[in-house]
Amino acid sequence: MKICDIIKSDQIIAELSGTSKEDVINELINLFKNDERVINLEKVRTAVLEREKIMSTGVGKGFAIPHGKTDAVKEIIAAFGKTKNPIDFAALDEQPVHLVFLLVGKDSLVGPHIKLLSRISRMMNKDEFRESLINAKSSEEIYSIFQEEENNYFEIT
């Protein structure tokens, strides 16, 4: 499964308005208010925020990947956003976050969920890729950057 199979440009926010970790997570979750793949948006919110309480998903290098698993979605969903100003995400490297990738998996789809987390992490470890995302001006441009990165560097599975 590819990232571009589960995220579209209307699930990308080129400039998040939130100023805290919880604000930006909620802003990304709210993109799914009228999404037919979501059975219960508040259960999605709870799953992601509860997972965040266990350990910060700020993985370092200015990137966070808040995620959770729940039966409140029909399939894996994702959203992405970037902040204008850095946000304290209690990241592992203690650096603020600019790039936030939300991933919500279905309870019964653990394997694909873990593979997507791994794929996103590998992509975000590339300095040039992160820099391209930070410099992007629109949701469409961000989506194109994800597409190009997947096409150039990952085999289709």
Is 67 part of the annotated catalytic residue set?
yes
Which pLDDT score is estimated for 118?
85
- Per-residue tokens: 3: 């990232």
Structure tokens at 63: 């990137």
pLDDT by residue (tens digit) across 84-110? 899 999 888 999 999 999 999 988 777
How long is the chain? 157
Alpha-carbon gap, residue 21 to 26, rounded angstroms: 9
pLDDT mean across residues, the chain: 91
pLDDT tens digits for range 25-55? 999 999 999 999 999 999 999 999 999 999 8
CB 21 within 8 A of CB 49: no
Domains and CATH numbers, the chain: 3-153 (3.40.930.10)
Q: CA torsion sign, 146 to 25 to 84 to 16?
A: positive
Query: Which residue of the set 21, 67, 98, 130 is catalytic?
Result: 67
Query: How far is residue 138's CA from residue 2's CA, in Å, rounded to a whole number?
Result: 21
Predicted local confidence at residue 153, as pLDDT = 66
**Which tens digit of pLDDT belongs to each residue from 95-154?**
999 999 999 998 877 787 788 888 888 888 899 999 999 999 999 999 999 999 988 765
Question: Is the pTM above the cut of 0.95?
Answer: no
- 156 pLDDT band, cuts 50/70/90, is very low
Q: Which residue carries 């560097």 as its tokens?
A: 153
